[in-house]
Structures are given as structure tokens and as C-alpha cells.
Amino acid sequence: MGEFELIRQYFAAAPCAQGGAGVVLGIGDDCALLEVAADEHLAVSTDTLVAGVHFPDPCDAFLLGQRALAVAASDLAAMGAAPLGFTLALTLPQADPLWLQAFAHGLGVMAQACRLVLVGGDTTRGPLSLTLTVFGRVPRGQALRRCGARPGDVLCVGGALGDAAAALPLVLGQRPVAATLADPLLARYWSPQPQLDLGIALRGRATAALDISDGLLGDCGHIAAASAVALYIEQERVPLSAALRALLPMPEARQCALSGGDDYVLAFTLPAGHVPALQAAGWPVAVIGRVEAGQGVHLLDAEGRVLNVPAQGYQHFPATAPVSERSSGPQD
């Protein structure tokens, strides 16, 4: 199967590539044409997923299609951007029709859930990797950024943490677990749900925000550094799912929530007065800490004592250790 036939059969003809609001021209020309209003900014983010680094190889192609787009779309949520479109650069060792059909199906399911339209991309031969670029739009001056947290704000997350990190040994076949325990966690790993609508709801409310991809402690360090403040996290208030509590003893469950990656849940700061309205509207907002003058991320125990826990998130090229990429672990 040639490149152009592959594109036509599995991607250009897919329901998620049939255009939508803001897409002037999609697949079929040298460039896509996107339209945003004069009072909006175009938000753009790119993610690359490599077999054996960001996902196990081999793996289920349908699940991979879902996960690949969800991971990229979560960056739009972190900026409070409304979804618009995406491109896919797909590198394949071979053109396997069954694999392509399943992958395109998974991609399309997540595209529909995220309200994203496939507008172009590229295919080439080589080791399996996926590069997705997502586009969104946000009113001028309302994009959520990492640099606005202020002393006196509270620190919040948009839901339970740690499920995907707990699922990783299950994904890799390292821990046999009954399906009743495994399935909810595996769903969080393979089909994360980008919090796009929560990001939009945080416009004009949140002072800083990001999505948690490399672990709560490490990612909150980005907010602390960009905002030149200190974040204090109360570990007892970090929400854990019932599935995570059922699978792991509390110390391990809490470690997954604090340092594990791949949650794709929003972490954000805002004045405390905004929290009741968000919760009343049904958003799963949990207050887990506060912002103070100072620097860095500080973890507190139940008595308010600072714990000595490293706040380093996952890095592909650590500065103080040999390069060693963890199989199918977190990504930026």
C-alpha cells in the first residue's frame, strides 16, 4: 500500500477528518487552513510518542490511537483553549491494514470526544512513532499560563491522581491483577479524558495552570518556578480513586499520586473564593494546598510538617544521571 492510498483510506476518509467550525481547508492540499476570530489567539502544541518509550511495543492499536490524541489534547485544556483541529505525523515500520484500521478507529473515537478535526499530517517508514500537533483557540488575554500564581491563592487539581501510574505495571505485564481491579486503572492509562471544558471554565478564574503529565510534585514545580512562588501541598488532601486504594496500600497509592505520571488532570491556582462556584457547577475540583511567597514545592504531612520528598518529574535526559528512558512512562 502506497503512502497516499494509506492516507486516503484510513485518515482522509475518516469521520474525524470531515471538517468543522474554524477549519477552512483540511486534508488534501499542501497546508490546512484554520480560521480564528480577530479577538482570539491560536493555541498550538506538539507531542511525540515513541514505541517502547511512551507506550509498550506491541500494544493494542485502537487504545494507542485514543491515548495518542488524548495526551496531545490535554495541553489545550491546560491553556483553557477550545479545541479546533490536529495533525498526525505517523512513522510505521510497515503498512499493516488491520493495525491501521484499529488505530484510525481509536483516533477517531478520541477526536469526537475532544471535538477535534484531523486536518493533515504525514506518513513515513521507520520505527513506530507518532507526532500530533493540536490547535485550539482562546480569547485574547484569557489563556491559562504557568506564571500567574500569587501568594494567597489555593492550589487545586481537577480529579483523582495516580491511576495511570498504578496501571503502568499492569500495562507492561509486571503485575497480575483481577480485571475488576485492573480495568478502571487501565482505562485511565489508555483513555485519559482531557479536561477541555474545565480548562475553559477556568478562564478568568485560574491564575496559573498546567496538565499533570510527569507527576504532581514535578509539574507543580513548573508553576512555582514560572510564578516565582512556593507551593505547599497537603498530601492528605490529594484525591485518590477507589480503584487505586483497592489495588495498593496507602503509601504506594499516595506515591503514585504524588510522583507518578500520565494523569492528564489539570493542576491550577486561583483565589479560594472561586472554588465553591466551580464545585457547585459539578467540576471535580479538590483543594490540595496553597501558594505562599518563596520558592519550590513543599509537601506537608497531616500535622503540617514539611516532608523531605524530591519534587523532580520524569525527564528524558536527566542532567545528573546517564540518559536512561523508562519504557512507556510519562512524557512532557
Determine the angle formed by the axes of helices 179-190 and 61-79, rounding to 10 degrees. Answer: 60
Reference 246, options 186, 187, 182, 203; nearest CA is 182
User: What CA–CA distance (Å, rounded) separates 325 from 228?
Assistant: 30
Q: Is 44 exposed, middle or buried (0-12, 13-18, 19+ CB in 10 A)?
A: middle
pLDDT computed for residue 175 by the predictor: 84
Cis peptide leading into 58, omega within 30 of 0?
yes
User: What CA–CA distance (Å, rounded) separates 253 from 232?
Assistant: 20
pLDDT computed for residue 310 by the predictor: 58
Q: Which domains does the chain have, with CATH numbers?
A: 3-139 (3.30.1330.10), 154-307 (3.90.650.10)
pLDDT computed for residue 318 by the predictor: 53
Residue 189, φ and ψ in degrees, nearest 5: -75, -50
pTM: predicted TM-score of the whole model, two decimal places: 0.89
User: What CA–CA distance (Å, rounded) separates 260 from 252?
Assistant: 10
Query: Residues 241, 184: contact at Cβ < 8 Å?
Result: yes
Q: Which three cell numbers stand for residue 108?
A: 477517531
User: Would you write out the chain's pLDDT as a tens digit for each of its 332 residues?
Assistant: 666 677 677 677 777 777 777 888 777 778 888 889 999 999 999 999 999 888 888 999 999 999 999 999 999 999 999 999 999 999 999 988 999 999 999 999 999 999 999 998 889 999 999 999 999 999 999 999 999 999 999 999 999 999 999 999 999 888 888 898 899 999 999 999 999 999 999 999 999 999 999 999 999 999 999 999 999 999 999 999 999 999 999 999 999 999 998 999 999 999 999 999 999 999 999 999 999 999 999 999 999 999 987 545 555 445 544 332 333 454 45
pLDDT computed for residue 330 by the predictor: 46
Reference 226, options 296, 283, 134; nearest CA is 296
Determine the angle formed by the axes of helices 250-259 and 163-171, rounding to 10 degrees. Answer: 100
Q: Which amino acid is at 19?
A: G
Determine the angle formed by the axes of helices 250-259 and 216-227, rounding to 10 degrees. Answer: 40
pLDDT computed for residue 255 by the predictor: 94
pLDDT computed for residue 3 by the predictor: 63
* HEC profile of the chain: CCHHHHHHHHHHCCHHHCCCCCEEECECECCCEECCCCCEEEEEEEEEEEECCCECCCCCHHHHHHHHHHHHHHHHHHHCCEEEEEEEEEEECCCCHHHHHHHHHHHHHHHHHHCCEEEEEEEEECCCEEEEEEEEEEECCCCCCCCCCCCCCEEEECCCCCHHHHHHHHHCCCCCCCHHHHHHHHHHHHCCCCCHHHHHHCCCCCCEEEECCCCHHHHHHHHHHHHCCEEEEEHHHCCCCHHHHHHCCHHHHHHHHHHCCCCCCEEEEECHHHHHHHHHCCCCCEEEEEEECCCEEEEECCCCCEECCCCCCCCCCCCCCCCCCCCCCCCC
Determine the angle formed by the axes of helices 179-190 and 163-171, rounding to 10 degrees. Answer: 110
Q: Which amino acid is at 282?
A: G
Residue 112, φ and ψ in degrees, nearest 5: -65, -45
Q: Which residues pair with 208 in a beta bridge?
A: 269
Determine the angle formed by the axes of helices 61-79 and 97-114, rounding to 10 degrees. Answer: 30
Q: Which residues pair with 29 in a beta bridge?
A: 27
